[in-house]
Amino acid sequence: MTRLRTIISLAVLAGVVSIALAPMGQASTETPLTTCGQVITTDAFLTRDLTCPGLAGVVVGASRITINLNGFTLRGDHSAGRYGIDDLSGFDEVTVENGSVRDFDYGVVGFGADRLLLSDIDASQNTNGGIFIAGVATQIQSSGASGNGGDGVYIMGTSASVRSFTAIGNAGSGIYVSGAFSRIRLSAASRDGSDGIVVVGNAARLESNWAEANGRPESLSGGARLGIHVFGYTVVPTGTNIARDNSDPAQCRPKSLC
């Protein structure tokens, strides 16, 4: 009898557990991204490649969310004012990861958006620039920008961190950061129209970056361009990098960085 009661008790417990867990297994707070221009207020994931003529790719509608492009591509038609990832409303602590944004006005835009994180993002062939973010503590890692009509990435704000970023063949600078305490590491800028890597502000740290063949030909770049250029500081920038074959023979300013 004791054994029977034990078996019955275990069966009842198993039933209770399965009832409790079933809704959790089926429910999800993640939003599938299925159409262009969706306003996203929860974690979301792209379900397929999307082409967005005259529309934004994804519109950020809340702070502290993750947008997972899931290895897919958001593609625009170069319409003015249409962005692949649109955070113009300035929501904070947004993560965008794992995919491509192409052929928009800008690939990714965040304005007044603090602590944004971009990871494994490719922003290419956008009309004005690959990535533009105005906000503090921006982080960009394992990403790239190529063939954009302006800068590959432009960040305005203190404590920006760029790591393992590749900028190739952008019309402006490959990487441009304006703000104190910037950190750029293990990144590369090559064949960009202006200076390869630019930092404006105090106490910058540039470590193990590579800048090659930027500002060539000079007839198109509007003059000699550096591989690495840091200015607007009173606290001297630090780090060791490589810059070569850029159109300005100085290659690097201040020289101590290369």
Over residues 159-198, the pLDDT tens digits come to 999 999 999 999 999 999 999 999 999 999 999 999 999 9
Nearest to 89 by CA among 26, 40, 129: 40
Residues sharing a CB contact under 8 Å with residue 118, sequence separation 6 or more, in sequence order: 95, 96, 97, 108, 131, 139, 140, 141, 143
Q: Tell me how long the chain is.
A: 258
Strands, sheet with 153-156, edge to edge from the N-terminal-most edge strand: 38-40, 58-60, 83-87, 106-111, 129-134, 153-156, 175-178, 197-200, 228-231, 252-253
Residues 6-64 pLDDT 10s: 322 333 333 333 323 333 332 368 999 999 999 999 999 999 999 999 999 999 999 99
220 has pLDDT over 70? no
Cβ atoms of residues 169 and 192 within 8 Å: yes
122 has pLDDT over 80? yes
Query: Tell me, what's the pLDDT at 77?
Result: 98
Pick the CATH number of 30-257 from 1.10.940.10, 1.20.120.1200, 2.160.20.10, 3.50.50.60: 2.160.20.10
Q: Please name the amino acid found at residue 114.
A: D
Provide mean pLDDT across the span 204-223. Answer: 85
Residues 108-121 pLDDT 10s: 999 999 999 999 99
Cβ atoms of residues 214 and 181 within 8 Å: no
Kindly list the domain boundaries of the chain, sorted by start residue: 30-257
Peptide bond before residue 217 is cis, with ω within 30 degrees of 0: yes
Residues sharing a CB contact under 8 Å with residue 34, sequence separation 6 or more, in sequence order: 47, 48
Residues 141-150 pLDDT 10s: 999 999 999 9
pTM above 0.75, yes or no: yes
Whole-number average pLDDT of the chain: 90
Query: Tell me, what's the pLDDT at 221?
Result: 59
Q: Which residue has the higher pLDDT, 11 or 103?
A: 103
203 has pLDDT over 50? yes
* Cα 203 to chain centroid, rounded: 22
Q: pLDDT class for 216, splitting at 50, 70, 90? A: confident
Count of Cβ atoms closer than 10 Å to residue 244 Cβ: 12
217 has pLDDT over 90? no
Q: How far apart are CA 162 and CA 166, in angstroms?
A: 10
Percent of the chain with pLDDT over 90: 86
Query: Tell me, what's the pLDDT at 27?
Result: 37
